[in-house]
Structure 1
Amino acid sequence: MALRGIRLVIPTGTSAFKAVNAVQKAGVHTSSVRSLRYGWWAYALGERTTPRFQQYSKIISVDGNLASGKGALAQSLADKLGMHYMPEPDTFYLDKMTGEKQPLAVDFNGMCSLEKFYTDPKAADGNTYRLQLWMYNMRLLQYADAIEHLLTTGQGVILERSPFSDMVFLEAMSKQGYIRKECVQHYNEIKDISICEFLPPHLSIYVDVPAEEVQKRLKQSGKSYLQNVPLMYLKSIEDSYKKTFLPKISETSELLAYDATQAQDIEKVAEDIEYLKFEKGPWLEQDDVTYHQMRMLVEDKHKVASLTQIPKFLPEITIGAHDYDEKYYAYKSLPGKKYAEGYNADVGDKYIWLK
């Protein structure tokens, strides 16, 4: 499977989370092999999660159509509430996790292109579904990062979209005939066996902007590949949000909805959140034991990535053994990739024999 290569490049333990969110400081045993990480012994010796939770120790996702203003709302709200903001992941989110200075080639990032999707959504090479499945993986990894940040620091996290709302794009692609029904079945199977391992956001905020206005904003964005996004595709995303995602997520999470003007009033949105009682959803059933189990999962990004791997043939996401080997050895030939982090003399790593 094309996506299996994701496990080859994810750092071990919490190093992936730290690479995305903070600069790691030197300390005792910080080499790639002997890095300190949370585990069973930490829990046995008294490490607990609930004492660090405060009023806004929550996971909040801000959802909406393309160019709906959700990013500006999420960032402003995070600043207002003292929460950690995570912008929407792109196809190169894995490079951020591994701390790459420059994005690697698309061969090592899902073999898909967002620009190609918008210019040729029915591409014969299967780019559309490959992109959709890769983005679900990136959202899942980011969501694991968000939960790890929450459980480790007690600081809440605000995300742009989440793996729970990722399906709106799949439904829109399917309605517009961009992907085959076999791809829809595969995606649903993948999601069913992976999303169940995670708790939904405490709160979902939906920014409601009509598809016509979204299309107008896209044309004004200055990005050439967004100039001709079909209105029907944007309407399908909007319909999927309102008919599928919002009714479903409201069963387990608090839900707030605003139009474009209301979403700009950060004081009002923050006040609405303050009045929420958060009296429903699976988060209420958690304790230090389940938080420990959750933390063990989300810090192991290899395990998170493996949740989406099933042995099923689909031309859109499957490559041959020879092509896989070619890409594998091409990756290993990159500077600093032959051995584990800290053990590559070609990028200046020193005292390797002492580690």
Structure 2
Amino acid sequence: MALRVIRLIAPSGATALKGVNVAPKACVHTSPARSLRYGWLAYALGERTTPRLKHHSKIITVDGNLCSGKGALAQKLADKLGMLYMPEADTFYLDRRTGEKELLPVDFNGMCSLERFYAEPKAADGNSYRLQMWMYTMRVLQYADALEHLLTTGQGVILERSPFSDFVFLDAMLKEGYIRKECVQHYNEIKGISICEFLPPHLAIYVDLPAEEVHRKMTQSGQNVALSYLKGIEDSYKNSFLPLISETSELLAYDASKAQDVERVAEDIEYLKFEKGPWLEQDDVTFHHMRMLVEDKQRVSTLTHIPKFLPEITIGAHDYDEKYYAYKSLPGKKYAPGYNADVGDKHIWLK
């Protein structure tokens, strides 16, 4: 399952994130393998993060149940505050991030399916937990992208959900019997060694829409999701996530109707003093180490994988080899980006 993540050769955040209006900078070398990036030398030569951080240099996450309107709020709020909007990561986040012309098969994207989860949440092959674990990994990578963008450009970022709130789906799955307790233990172990490496959001916004209303809207759109599962997500948000995130981040909560008033939400944000959380303890040294981490996506991805046997996510050596060579046989995947003649890369020997 980890094949695409562990072997990912990711571009820097400045080139990977789409729709970001950042002025181009001079480069010593512009080939795909040697683009100029931030590192120890840049820091030694005086590159610092704090001078570019302004009033709206914040990480804001917008959370809520399915179909709660959080996406519309996040996008409008980003436009209002001049921040970067990052839509919720899905199972194909890697493909979109690396600019694949066509989305790759699920064999190279977690070997899981959201559609199958809705149709068969108790699938015997462990699809539900593979989906949950893969989505956590995608959210970690997206959050690293958000931090990299903030520290590199100073522009704030608004995301839909984050790895800090991802566990609400795990809680609901366990309650419904979709996954085993061993899966929860594995998830908590992974989360314990990964989430601690990142600073929490400055602000978490929660959009409250009753599970019954969510169920009605999803049924009308043709999605068959159990009401009890949606209720489990709502309960986990209110009983676990909100009390937990309020310890380190500012918190604003609105019912779905009031969340449509973007002007009011923006005004409420302006009144916040942001006087709590680990962001207050940071300086250029800690920002340097954080920036070094989040720009190295291979290092980030390894935080979400441990050598532990779990039937739901473990594949045998023969299956691994089969998928590895199948991936390498795809157009443009045999060598590093920019070095594959089969997709039209030119002047390879001069790079």
Normalised by the length of structure 2, the TM-score is 0.97
**1:80 has 2:77 as partner:** no
**1:258 has 2:257 as partner:** no
What displacement does 1:152 show?
0.4
Equivalent residue number for residue 291 of structure 2 = 295
Alpha carbons 1:117, 1:127 under 8 Å: kept: yes
Counterpart Cα distance in 1 of 2:267 and 2:204: 15
Q: 1:261-280 to 2 correspondence within 5 Å?
A: 261-280=257-276
**1:40 has 2:37 as partner:** no
Equivalent residue number for residue 97 of structure 2 = 97
Q: Secondary structure at the match of 1:21?
A: coil
Alpha carbons 2:3, 2:108 under 8 Å: kept: no
Alpha carbons 2:8, 2:298 under 8 Å: kept: no
Alpha carbons 1:112, 1:130 under 8 Å: kept: yes
Counterpart Cα distance in 2 of 1:73 and 1:337: 38
More displaced 10-residue stretch of structure 1: 47-56 or 63-72: 47-56
Q: Secondary structure at the match of 2:304?
A: coil
Count of equivalent residues: 348
What displacement does 1:104 show?
0.3
Alpha carbons 2:62, 2:206 under 8 Å: kept: yes
Q: 1:1-355 to 2 correspondence within 5 Å?
A: 2-11=1-10, 14=12, 18-22=15-19, 27-221=27-221, 224=222, 226=223, 228-355=224-351
Alpha carbons 1:146, 1:157 under 8 Å: kept: yes
Q: Secondary structure at the match of 1:9?
A: coil
| Uncovered stretches (5+) of structure 2, i.e. residues with no partner | none
Q: Secondary structure at the match of 2:2?
A: helix
User: CA offsets per residue over residues 192-242 of structure 1, 9 Å max, x none?
Assistant: 000000011000000000000001111233xx4x1x211000000000000
Counterpart Cα distance in 1 of 2:117 and 2:93: 18
Counterpart Cα distance in 2 of 1:33 and 1:41: 18
Runs ≥4 in structure 1, deviation > 3 angstroms? 22-28
Q: Secondary structure at the match of 1:338?
A: coil
Q: Secondary structure at the match of 1:311?
A: coil
User: CA offsets per residue over residues 314-344 of structure 1, 9 Å max, x none?
Assistant: 1100001111101100110111110111111
Change (3 A) 1:117 1:238: same
Counterpart Cα distance in 2 of 1:35 and 1:139: 25
| Uncovered stretches (5+) of structure 1, i.e. residues with no partner | none
User: CA offsets per residue over residues 267-291 of structure 1, 9 Å max, x none?
Assistant: 1000000000000000000000000
Counterpart Cα distance in 2 of 1:238 and 1:178: 17
Counterpart Cα distance in 1 of 2:279 and 2:332: 41
Alpha carbons 1:62, 1:159 under 8 Å: kept: yes
Normalised by the length of structure 1, the TM-score is 0.96
User: CA offsets per residue over residues 148-181 of structure 1, 9 Å max, x none?
Assistant: 0000000000000000000000000000000000
Counterpart Cα distance in 1 of 2:28 and 2:67: 45
What displacement does 1:101 show?
1.1
Amino acid at match of 1:6: V
Amino acid at match of 1:324: Y
Change (3 A) 1:231 1:17: farther
Aligned alpha-carbon RMSD (Å): 1.4
Alpha carbons 1:20, 1:99 under 8 Å: kept: no
Counterpart Cα distance in 1 of 2:67 and 2:9: 30
Q: Secondary structure at the match of 2:102?
A: coil
Counterpart Cα distance in 1 of 2:279 and 2:117: 37
What displacement does 1:27 show?
4.8
Counterpart Cα distance in 1 of 2:279 and 2:7: 32
Percent identity of equivalent pairs: 78
Counterpart Cα distance in 1 of 2:101 and 2:227: 37
Alpha carbons 1:63, 1:205 under 8 Å: kept: yes
Q: Secondary structure at the match of 2:159?
A: strand
Q: Secondary structure at the match of 1:257?
A: strand
What displacement does 1:22 show?
4.8
Alpha carbons 1:63, 1:160 under 8 Å: kept: yes
